[in-house]
């Protein structure tokens, strides 16, 4: 065999696709990125209609409203709309998250004009028929049962509820609970749409095989006559419930594994330390070759995989370490994870670990943006978080500017062992003695009862 | 839409496909080994997949965990996966890093065994057992694929047993098994290599020769037992499984023509008519109109040997029993057998598949993977460029013939998941029959 590892050749330059920013008189913003590799176009609308604006006890309204867009307009009902789009080879994807509502579709270039007209109609003038709202509500309730049947879904939701203070929108599921979804009426949906969907709250993003001029013609023709003004967006309270360390076991008898979440409230997306945190997290638990994964999976075989992430939102989303382990080693897993957190906060990483993280993040950057859908999603991210227009051009140099000292500072300031909250979903009898022995703050046991 | 295809073969039997596209400085390297769970011997279920894990544990000139580290340091992504008929390994890297990706793949194809140790095997066995817990045992309906294979293929058939394997068999796997499996199947003449994206063809060919030419041809893989099966099951098959779930779910499988055969495309279009997206028959009827299902989908498994499966997957709404849900599906199938499908339904399905097929060609990794797939399963990577035409050629008549031949009651394997009855409600309500 060839024993010597080959060295890389000179790298070829890469630029994030160029895009143009325009607007119409009614306030709608338009971003168009011509990408001409294949006859494919992705169209995406980012609307400032957020789950954080859901009224109390009607959580899930933003999501239900987004879903109801797919059920057509006064001219065309849901089934006709679906079939018409699908005959054009596309379908409308919709969803509302904490910081925006997004509607999108990917279509072949020769079908763009017809499908774009339907796309704009459903955003501006959805019918919200009574029977469709009833059906969607019942679909959501079935989905709730399925989410909670999954140990992962149950762990995510239990962790959010345990983490955030009572009354925080972030403590409730993004798409609402069974109770809150049941409380949503057609009138709520109509009002939410009227208040939050307006041209000045909307950005249309078009990426693919067309020119900026062709894109603008489409938008003007379809969205030009839309009128209305945006409502004030509500922001989430992002305060942690327990200021000190605390643990919770959510009981799932005879579970084959323990689903584990460890973390605390993180920082908002706009935080100036963003790039240091991204690199720090890559080393801690973001990469396959991260400290947490190498320890828990490759050294100990406790798990199929372990990772950490900051959930970036406009307000402070959670910082989470997430894994699923054999129930008997849950205590050891938590102890090993704590060791990695301490090491991250006390010692500067060496330059080789730093370069692994930064060269990975720089290198995969072009790989992330190979498709029109991925480029459109990146532009949507830029809009949602009000990032500068040169954000993607500057991304790789911002990453490579992070130093080992920056990483240590990010770990010291943004990973706080004193505030960690632990949630485990699994078999209480096996878990409880292990968690008690760790003495990680007050331990509560939650009997999970199926709704 | 066509992508460029350039093929050649090394003397050791490694078949190589290059597909150049210089729009971004990215290149994908993709290897398919023609071995999967179907090739496992008795008492070693799950071994092909466990073996895939061992391929990331180092080789002659690569340390444990170093494969991942070198690719990530190069700015690339990587992984591997195991399926019934094949195991693949792939990385996408910045184009100036093509050499390291090829070198790593060649190093493990040529010299895996010197790096294998009992400790590494034991650790990866634990990792895989946790993968089984995570994806099968602790997951609602998580046993569906192994139960479906068990129900749809006779016991003697290589597709009958579980891909992830049983805990007992995983415990039994030894270093000897690793060595045997490697020598038998991980040889250049049992693999295909595809490179897609930004490269210089002459340079790429030179690198492939430099790293892979020194690897010797294998001694020939043992033949699989006969895979052939009659076109239909011959009688309805069924299995009922209690699981920790709130909603009943039904998987219904139909024995179906193998992947890549002419009839396969009619089967695939039938799947899309029945259960691809919201405009499909099952979704429209059961989820939107009758509101008896929470979700509905249908798709082919894409097996290229013996027989494929067309699978329907429908979850009930709260308050709908498994029996009612099954009646709902059967009613749709009866209507399909009685009336057939319309031209518009075929057009809808083909239009959706066309967009997906073309969109998928946007990424270097997907191009490389599909080239390897066609080279491995159908013998020629050129088939990648035939797919939209093959689908466009599917007529309503062909779909209706497939339906009449294959969606009949004698060709249905029904796997029913029902919510587990809690022990207390059994004692309280003892006369309720628990299937």
According to the model, what pLDDT value does residue B224 have?
Answer: 83
Is B360 in the A-facing interface, judged by CB distances under 8 Å? no
Task: Judge whether residue A429 has pLDDT over 50.
Answer: yes
Tell me which residue of B308, B298, B301 sits closest to B345, measured CA to CA.
B298
Q: How far apart are CA A173 and CA A59, in angstroms?
A: 8
Tell me which residue of A346, A173, A348, A331 sits closest to A260, measured CA to CA.
A331
Which residue has better confidence, B225 or B385?
Answer: B385
Taking CA atoms, B7 is separated from B29, B193, B368, B373, in Å, by 15, 10, 13, 14
Q: How far apart are CA B240 and CA B184, in angstroms?
A: 38
According to the model, what pLDDT value does residue B432 have?
Answer: 30
- Going through B95-189 in order, the beta strands assigned E by DSSP cover none
According to the model, what pLDDT value does residue B435 have?
Answer: 29
A127 DSSP assignment: -
Q: Tens of pLDDT along B325-377?
A: 999 999 999 999 999 999 999 999 999 999 999 999 999 999 999 999 999 99
Confidence class for position B1, pLDDT limits 50, 70, 90 = confident
According to the model, what pLDDT value does residue B152 have?
Answer: 98
Q: Which residues pair with A94 in a beta bridge?
A: A103
The answer to whether the CB atoms of B347 and A87 lie below 8 A apart is yes
Q: How far apart are CA A59 and CA B302, in angstroms?
A: 41
Tell me which residue of A311, A172, A168, A312 sits closest to A240, measured CA to CA.
A168
For B290, residues 6+ apart whose C-beta sits below 8 A from its C-beta are: B328
Taking CA atoms, A344 is separated from A152, A340, A341, A407, B66, in Å, by 27, 6, 5, 9, 22
* Chain A interface mutation, best of B72, B112, B343, highest count of A Cβ atoms under 10 Å: B72
CA of B306 vs chain A CAs: smallest distance (Å): 32
Whether A268 and A201 have beta carbons less than 8 Å apart is answered as no
- Secondary structure class of A51 (helix, strand, coil): helix
Q: How far apart are CA B389 and CA B375, in angstroms?
A: 18
Q: Tens of pLDDT along B75-107?
A: 999 999 999 999 999 999 999 999 999 999 999
Half-sphere exposure of B357 (CA within 13 A, CB side): 19
Half-sphere exposure of B35 (CA within 13 A, CB side): 27
| Chain B residue whose CA is closest to A40 | B359
* Chain A interface mutation, best of B96, B355, B358, highest count of A Cβ atoms under 10 Å: B355
User: Measured between beta carbons, which residues in chain A are less than 8 angstroms from residue B214?
Assistant: 1-2
The answer to whether the CB atoms of A324 and B134 lie below 8 A apart is yes
User: Nearest by CB to B75, which of A259, A325, A363?
Assistant: A363
**Phi/psi of residue B416, each to 5°?**
-110, 125
User: Nearest by CB to B96, which of A9, A70, A303?
Assistant: A9
The answer to whether the CB atoms of B279 and A91 lie below 8 A apart is yes
Percent of residues in chain A assigned helix, strand, coil, to nearest 5 = 45, 20, 35
- CA-CA-CA-CA torsion sign (A156, A158, A159, A165): positive
Taking CA atoms, B214 is separated from B14, B189, B207, in Å, by 11, 13, 12
User: Nearest by CB to B278, which of A91, A106, A145?
Assistant: A91
The answer to whether the CB atoms of B106 and A2 lie below 8 A apart is yes
The answer to whether the CB atoms of A79 and B363 lie below 8 A apart is no
Q: Tens of pLDDT along B128-164?
A: 999 999 999 999 999 999 999 999 999 999 999 999 9
Tell me which residue of B298, B137, B84 sits closest to A255, measured CA to CA.
B137
Over range A92-103, report the average pLDDT: 98
The answer to whether the CB atoms of A363 and B74 lie below 8 A apart is yes
Confidence class for position B433, pLDDT limits 50, 70, 90 = very low
Q: How many helices (H) and strands (E) does chain A have?
A: 17, 12
User: Nearest by CB to A88, which of B77, B246, B351?
Assistant: B351
Q: State chain B's mean pLDDT as an integer.
A: 95
| Chain B residue whose CA is closest to A12 | B25
Residues counted in chain A: 451
User: Measured between beta carbons, which residues in chain B are less than 8 angstroms from residue A141?
Assistant: 318
User: Nearest by CB to A11, which of B69, B96, B127?
Assistant: B96
According to the model, what pLDDT value does residue B434 have?
Answer: 28
A18 DSSP assignment: P
SS (H, E, C) B59-83: ECCECCCHHHHHHHHCCCEEEEEEC
Task: Judge whether residue B174 has pLDDT over 70.
Answer: yes
- Secondary structure class of B293 (helix, strand, coil): strand
User: Measured between beta carbons, which residues in chain A are less than 8 angstroms from residue B113?
Assistant: none
Over range B109-133, report the average pLDDT: 96
Q: How far is CA A142 from the centre of its chain?
A: 22
For the purposes of burial, counting CB atoms within 10 Å of the CB of A165, is it exposed (0-12), middle (13-18) or buried (19 or more)?
middle
Taking CA atoms, A11 is separated from A89, B95, B101, in Å, by 38, 7, 15
Q: How far apart are CA B90 and CA B74, in angstroms?
A: 14
User: Nearest by CB to A146, which of B125, B134, B247?
Assistant: B247
Taking CA atoms, B182 is separated from A318, B33, B83, B324, B401, in Å, by 44, 11, 17, 49, 44
The answer to whether the CB atoms of A294 and B65 lie below 8 A apart is yes
The answer to whether the CB atoms of A355 and B245 lie below 8 A apart is no
Over range A33-52, report the average pLDDT: 97
Confidence class for position B422, pLDDT limits 50, 70, 90 = low
Is B210 in the A-facing interface, judged by CB distances under 8 Å? yes
The answer to whether the CB atoms of A289 and B244 lie below 8 A apart is no
| Chain A residue whose CA is closest to B28 | A367
- CA-CA-CA-CA torsion sign (B375, B377, B378, B379): positive
Over range A77-105, report the average pLDDT: 98
Largest CA distance in chain A: 71
User: Nearest by CB to A90, which of B74, B75, B355?
Assistant: B355
Task: Judge whether residue A232 has pLDDT over 90.
Answer: no
Q: Which residues pair with A207 in a beta bridge?
A: A33, A42
| Chain A residue whose CA is closest to B290 | A135
Sheet holding B87-94, edge to edge: B6-9, B15-20, B191-197, B26-33, B87-94, B77-82
- Secondary structure class of B253 (helix, strand, coil): strand
A72 DSSP assignment: B
Is B204 in the A-facing interface, judged by CB distances under 8 Å? no
Q: Which of residues 294-353 of B touch A (CB under 8 A)?
A: 294, 315, 317-318, 344, 347-348, 351-352
Q: How far apart are CA B330 and CA B102, in angstroms?
A: 51
User: Measured between beta carbons, which residues in chain A are less than 8 angstroms from residue B103?
Assistant: 2, 5-6
According to the model, what pLDDT value does residue B221 have?
Answer: 87
Q: How far apart are CA B222 and CA B220, in angstroms?
A: 7
**Phi/psi of residue A92, each to 5°?**
-90, 125
According to the model, what pLDDT value does residue B401 have?
Answer: 98
Q: How far apart are CA A261 and CA A248, in angstroms?
A: 10
**Helix or strand holding residue B178 (H, E):** helix B175-185
Chain A to chain B Cβ contacts (< 8 Å): 225
According to the model, what pLDDT value does residue A449 have?
Answer: 67
Confidence class for position B234, pLDDT limits 50, 70, 90 = very high
Whether B273 and B351 have beta carbons less than 8 Å apart is answered as no
Q: Alpha-carbon Rg of chain A, whole angstroms?
A: 24
Q: How far apart are CA A355 and CA A404, in angstroms?
A: 10
The answer to whether the CB atoms of A355 and B127 lie below 8 A apart is no
User: Nearest by CB to B65, which of A151, A289, A365?
Assistant: A289
Q: How far apart are CA A118 and CA A252, in angstroms?
A: 46
Over range A21-28, report the average pLDDT: 97
| Chain A residue whose CA is closest to B248 | A146
Half-sphere exposure of B386 (CA within 13 A, CB side): 14
Q: Using DSSP bridges, classify how beta strands B413-419 and B237-243 pair: parallel, antiparallel or unpaired.
A: parallel
* pTM of this structure: 0.96
Taking CA atoms, B401 is separated from B236, B267, B395, B411, in Å, by 20, 10, 10, 14
Whether B280 and B270 have beta carbons less than 8 Å apart is answered as no
Is B119 in the A-facing interface, judged by CB distances under 8 Å? no
User: Measured between beta carbons, which residues in chain B are less than 8 angstroms from residue A285?
Assistant: none
According to the model, what pLDDT value does residue A426 have?
Answer: 97
Residues A141, A147, A150, A151: what is their CA dihedral angle, to the nearest 10 degrees? -120
CA of A237 vs chain B CAs: smallest distance (Å): 33
The answer to whether the CB atoms of B103 and A298 lie below 8 A apart is no
User: Nearest by CB to A12, which of B127, B130, B198?
Assistant: B198
Whether B90 and B29 have beta carbons less than 8 Å apart is answered as yes
Confidence class for position B425, pLDDT limits 50, 70, 90 = very low
The answer to whether the CB atoms of A5 and B288 lie below 8 A apart is no
The answer to whether the CB atoms of A304 and B103 lie below 8 A apart is no
For B386, residues 6+ apart whose C-beta sits below 8 A from its C-beta are: none
The answer to whether the CB atoms of A364 and B111 lie below 8 A apart is no
Over range B272-276, report the average pLDDT: 98
* Chain A interface mutation, best of B359, B392, B420, B424, highest count of A Cβ atoms under 10 Å: B359
Whether B193 and B30 have beta carbons less than 8 Å apart is answered as yes
According to the model, what pLDDT value does residue B225 have?
Answer: 83
- Secondary structure class of B3 (helix, strand, coil): coil
Is B418 in the A-facing interface, judged by CB distances under 8 Å? no
- Secondary structure class of A109 (helix, strand, coil): helix
The answer to whether the CB atoms of B133 and A257 lie below 8 A apart is yes
Q: How far apart are CA B106 and CA A1, in angstroms?
A: 8
B419 DSSP assignment: E
Task: Judge whether residue B426 has pLDDT over 60.
Answer: no
Confidence class for position A372, pLDDT limits 50, 70, 90 = very high
According to the model, what pLDDT value does residue A450 have?
Answer: 65
| Angle, alpha carbons A435-A440-A442 (nearest 5°) | 90
Over range B313-334, report the average pLDDT: 98
According to the model, what pLDDT value does residue A231 have?
Answer: 85
The answer to whether the CB atoms of A145 and B246 lie below 8 A apart is yes
The answer to whether the CB atoms of B284 and A79 lie below 8 A apart is yes
For the purposes of burial, counting CB atoms within 10 Å of the CB of A53, is it exposed (0-12), middle (13-18) or buried (19 or more)?
buried
Is B284 in the A-facing interface, judged by CB distances under 8 Å? yes
User: Measured between beta carbons, which residues in chain A are less than 8 angstroms from residue B131?
Assistant: 304
Q: State chain A's mean pLDDT as an integer.
A: 96
Whether A271 and A385 have beta carbons less than 8 Å apart is answered as no
- Secondary structure class of B248 (helix, strand, coil): coil
Using a pLDDT cut of 70, give the percent of chain A over it.
Answer: 99
């Amino acid at each position: 065999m060839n024993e010597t590892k080959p060295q890389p050749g000179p790298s070829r330059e890469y630029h994030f696709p160029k895009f143009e920013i325009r607007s119409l008189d009614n306030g709608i913003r338009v971003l168009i990125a011509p990408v001409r590799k294949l006859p494919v176009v992705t169209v995406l609308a980012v609307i400032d209609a957020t789950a954080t604006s859901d009224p109390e006890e009607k959580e899930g309204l933003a999501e239900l409203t987004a879903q109801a867009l797919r059920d057509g307009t006064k001219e065309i009902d849901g089934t006709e709309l679906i079939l018409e789009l699908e005959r054009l080879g596309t379908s409308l994807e919709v969803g509302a998250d904490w910081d925006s509502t997004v509607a999108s579709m990917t279509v072949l270039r020769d079908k763009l004009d017809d499908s774009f007209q339907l796309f704009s109609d459903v955003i501006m003038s959805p019918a919200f028929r009574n029977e469709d709202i009833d059906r969607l509500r019942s679909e959501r309730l079935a989905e709730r049962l399925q989410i909670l049947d999954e140990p992962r879904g149950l762990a995510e939701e239990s962790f959010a509820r345990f983490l955030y203070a009572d009354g925080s929108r972030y403590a409730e599921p993004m798409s609402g609970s069974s109770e809150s979804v049941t409380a949503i009426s057609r009138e709520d949906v109509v009002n939410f749409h009227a208040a939050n969907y307006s041209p000045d709250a909307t950005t249309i993003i078009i990426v693919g095989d067309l020119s900026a001029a062709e894109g603008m013609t489409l938008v003007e023709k379809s969205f030009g006559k839309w009128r209305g003004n945006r409502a004030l967006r509500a922001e989430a309270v992002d305060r942690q419930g327990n200021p000190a360390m605390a643990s919770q076991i959510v009981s799932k008898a005879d579970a084959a594994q323990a689903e584990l979440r460890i973390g605390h409230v993180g920082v908002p997306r706009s935080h100036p330390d963003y790039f240091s945190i991204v690199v720090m997290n890559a080393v801690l638990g973001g990469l396959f070759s991260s400290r947490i994964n190498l320890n828990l999976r490759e050294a100990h075989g406790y798990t199929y995989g372990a990772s950490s992430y900051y959930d970036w939102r406009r307000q402070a989303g959670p910082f989470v370490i997430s894994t699923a382990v054999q129930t008997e080693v849950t205590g050891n897993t938590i102890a090993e994870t704590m060791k990695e957190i301490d090491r991250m906060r006390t010692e500067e990483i060496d330059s080789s670990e730093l370069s692994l993280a930064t060269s990975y993040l720089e290198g995969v950057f072009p790989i992330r943006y190979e498709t029109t859908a991925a480029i459109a999603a990146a532009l949507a991210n830029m809009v949602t978080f009000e990032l500068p227009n040169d954000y993607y051009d500057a991304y790789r140099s911002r990453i490579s500017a992070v130093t080992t000292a920056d990483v240590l500072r990010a770990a010291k300031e943004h990973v706080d062992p004193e505030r960690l909250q632990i949630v485990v979903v699994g078999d209480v009898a096996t878990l409880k003695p292990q968690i008690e022995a760790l003495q990680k703050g007050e331990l509560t046991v939650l009997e999970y009862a199926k709704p | 839409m066509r992508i460029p295809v350039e093929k050649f073969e090394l003397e050791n039997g490694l078949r190589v496909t290059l597909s150049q596209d210089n729009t971004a400085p990215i290149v994908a390297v993709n290897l398919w080994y023609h071995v999967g769970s179907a090739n496992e011997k008795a008492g070693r279920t799950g071994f092909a997949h466990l073996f895939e894990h061992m391929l990331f544990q180092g080789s002659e000139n690569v340390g444990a965990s170093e494969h991942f580290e070198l690719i990530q340091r190069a700015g690339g992504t990587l992984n591997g996966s195991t399926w019934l008929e094949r195991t693949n390994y792939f990385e996408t890297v910045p184009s100036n890093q093509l050499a390291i990706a090829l070198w790593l793949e060649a190093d493990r194809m040529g010299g895996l065994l010197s790096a294998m140790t009992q400790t590494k095997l034991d650790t990866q066995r634990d990792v895989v057992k946790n993968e089984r817990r995570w994806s099968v045992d602790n997951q609602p309906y998580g046993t569906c694929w192994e139960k479906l294979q068990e129900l749809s293929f006779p016991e003697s058939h290589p597709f009958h047993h579980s891909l992830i394997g049983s805990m007992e068999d995983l415990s039994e796997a030894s270093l000897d098994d690793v060595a045997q499996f490697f020598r038998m199947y991980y040889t250049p003449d049992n693999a295909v290599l595809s490179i897609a994206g930004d490269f210089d063809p002459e340079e790429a060919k030179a690198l492939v020769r430099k790293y892979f030419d020194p690897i010797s041809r294998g001694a020939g893989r043992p033949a699989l037992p006969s895979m052939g099966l009659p076109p239909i099951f011959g009688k309805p098959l069924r299995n009922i499984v209690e699981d920790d779930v709130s909603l009943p779910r039904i998987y219904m499988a139909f024995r179906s023509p193998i992947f890549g055969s002419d009839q396969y495309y009619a089967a695939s279009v039938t799947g899309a008519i029945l259960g691809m997206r919201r405009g499909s028959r099952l979704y429209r009827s059961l989820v939107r109109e009758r509101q008896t299902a929470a979700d509905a989908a249908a798709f082919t498994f894409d097996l290229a040997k013996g027989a494929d499966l067309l699978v329907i997957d429908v979850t009930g709404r709260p308050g709908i029993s498994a029996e009612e849900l099954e009646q709902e599906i059967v009613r749709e199938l009866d209507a399909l057998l009685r009336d057939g499908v319309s031209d518009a339904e075929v057009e809808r399905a083909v239009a959706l598949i066309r967009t997906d097929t073309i969109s998928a060609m946007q990424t270097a990794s997907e191009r490389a993977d599909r080239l390897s797939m066609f080279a491995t399963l159908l013998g020629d990577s050129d088939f990648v460029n035939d797919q939209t035409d093959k689908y466009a050629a599917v007529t309503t008549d062909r779909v209706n013939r497939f339906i009449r031949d294959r969606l009949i009651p004698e060709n249905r394997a029904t796997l029913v998941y029902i919510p587990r009855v809690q022990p207390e409600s059994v004692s309280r309500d003892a006369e309720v029959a628990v299937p």
